[in-house]
């Protein structure tokens, strides 16, 4: 973590410390209750793989060849600036099966103590709240146990199973209905989360949630770690899912750094993008 990265854009180029690189972006101050600031993050191979099949797992996981502690540090820094983490029911099913990548941030390890202290200094809660976007409401109750100290919300459509909703409410979970059918409407979801007081929302789910937010025009910044590695393979996840985005979502480069230290013998580009204005 002590090895610097090189800022390539915006000019001029400069050496910058990895630790604190994203904390300096002040994302927790960019939104309001009327218009929350929504951001997301992925790590990808050069050929667009963010999730692949893995031995011993029933679901796709981040490719081991591109997962690395330096990117993980930046992921935690982004979470450190959020009022709320948006994830999916899939994560909690993975957790119940022992297949989840890790606990939801901000991590409890000593190496992230500075991020947790930073949150408190900024007047934020010790940990961000959690929102689970789910149409099926297939959320194993035991998977919620590690997060009892946080506020947990489930976001679903108005046609969701009422019995499951009551069961979740009995577990202390808050319910937000943000869609006419079973699926969640991204625009309504973010609007209702803003009304609930959330100003900084970090989407840490996979392509389904990311695509929902893109289609709704509710993605303010995309952080993308691009590992300089080619993986190949025919079964994989990429950033989006489903049909073509019509019209396409044009993104403009807002920042770019080069990190030559990970993955080993490859390096990675640390980029972030904002919708074209």
C-alpha to C-alpha distance for 81 and 129, rounded to whole angstroms: 12
The CATH number given to whatever domain includes residue 138 is: 3.40.430.10
Q: Has residue 173 got a pLDDT over 80?
A: yes
- The number of distinct structural domains making up the chain is 1
Which value, in Å, is the radius of gyration of the alpha carbons in the chain?
18
pTM above threshold 0.85: yes
Span 118-168, pLDDT tens digits: 999 999 999 999 999 999 999 999 999 999 999 999 999 999 999 999 999
What is residue 98's predicted lDDT score, i.e. its pLDDT? 84
Query: Is 14 domain-assigned?
Result: no
C-alpha to C-alpha distance for 115 and 135, rounded to whole angstroms: 33
What is residue 225's predicted lDDT score, i.e. its pLDDT? 98
Mean pLDDT, residues 11-25: 97
Contact, 140 vs 96, CB < 8 A? yes
Span 59-110, pLDDT tens digits: 788 999 999 999 999 999 999 999 999 999 999 998 998 887 788 999 988 9
What is residue 101's predicted lDDT score, i.e. its pLDDT? 74
Q: How far is CA 13 from the centre of its chain?
A: 28
What is the per-residue DSSP string for 135-155?
Answer: SS----GGGGGGGTTS-EEEE
Span 196-205, pLDDT tens digits: 999 999 999 9
What is residue 59's predicted lDDT score, i.e. its pLDDT? 78
Q: Which two tokens stand for residue 130?
A: 């959690």
239 pLDDT band, cuts 50/70/90, is very high
Q: Has residue 240 got a pLDDT over 80?
A: yes
C-alpha to C-alpha distance for 272 and 37, rounded to whole angstroms: 14
Query: Is 264 domain-assigned?
Result: no
Query: Is 44 domain-assigned?
Result: yes
Query: Is 57 domain-assigned?
Result: yes
Q: Has residue 246 got a pLDDT over 90?
A: yes
Residue 144 lies in domain: 26-245
Mean predicted lDDT score pLDDT of the chain: 95
Query: Is 46 domain-assigned?
Result: yes
Query: Is 7 domain-assigned?
Result: no
C-alpha to C-alpha distance for 151 and 132, rounded to whole angstroms: 11
What is residue 30's predicted lDDT score, i.e. its pLDDT? 97
254 pLDDT band, cuts 50/70/90, is very high
Q: Has residue 117 got a pLDDT over 80?
A: yes
What is residue 60's predicted lDDT score, i.e. its pLDDT? 84
Query: Is 182 domain-assigned?
Result: yes
Q: Has residue 57 got a pLDDT over 90?
A: no
What is residue 58's predicted lDDT score, i.e. its pLDDT? 72
Query: Is 4 domain-assigned?
Result: no
């Amino acid at each position: 973590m002590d090895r610097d990265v090189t800022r390539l854009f915006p000019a001029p180029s400069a050496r910058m410390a990895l630790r604190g690189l994203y904390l300096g972006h002040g994302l927790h101050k960019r939104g309001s209750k009327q218009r929350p600031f929504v951001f997301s993050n992925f790590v990808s191979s050069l050929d667009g793989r963010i999730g692949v099949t893995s031995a011993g797992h029933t679901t796709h996981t981040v490719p081991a060849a591109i997962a690395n502690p330096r990117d993980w540090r930046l992921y935690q820094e982004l979470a450190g600036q959020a009022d709320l983490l948006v994830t999916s029911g899939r994560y909690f099913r993975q957790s119940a099966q022992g297949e989840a990548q890790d606990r939801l941030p901000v991590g409890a390890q000593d190496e992230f103590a500075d991020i947790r202290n930073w949150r408190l200094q900024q007047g934020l809660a010790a940990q961000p709240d959690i929102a689970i976007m789910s149409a099926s409401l297939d959320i194993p109750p035991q998977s919620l146990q590690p997060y009892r100290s946080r506020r947990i919300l489930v976001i679903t459509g108005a046609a969701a199973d009422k019995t499951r909703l009551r069961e979740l409410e009995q577990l202390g979970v808050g319910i937000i209905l943000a869609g006419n059918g079973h699926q969640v409407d991204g625009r309504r979801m973010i609007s209702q989360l803003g009304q609930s007081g959330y100003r900084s929302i970090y989407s840490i789910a996979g392509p389904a949630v990311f695509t929902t937010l893109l289609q709704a025009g509710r993605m303010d910044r995309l952080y993308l770690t691009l590992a300089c590695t080619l993986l190949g393979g025919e079964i994989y996840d990429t950033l989006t899912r489903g049909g073509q985005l019509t019209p396409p979502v044009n993104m403009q480069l807002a920042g770019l750094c080069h990190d030559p230290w990970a993955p080993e013998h490859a390096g990675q580009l640390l980029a972030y993008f904002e919708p074209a204005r």
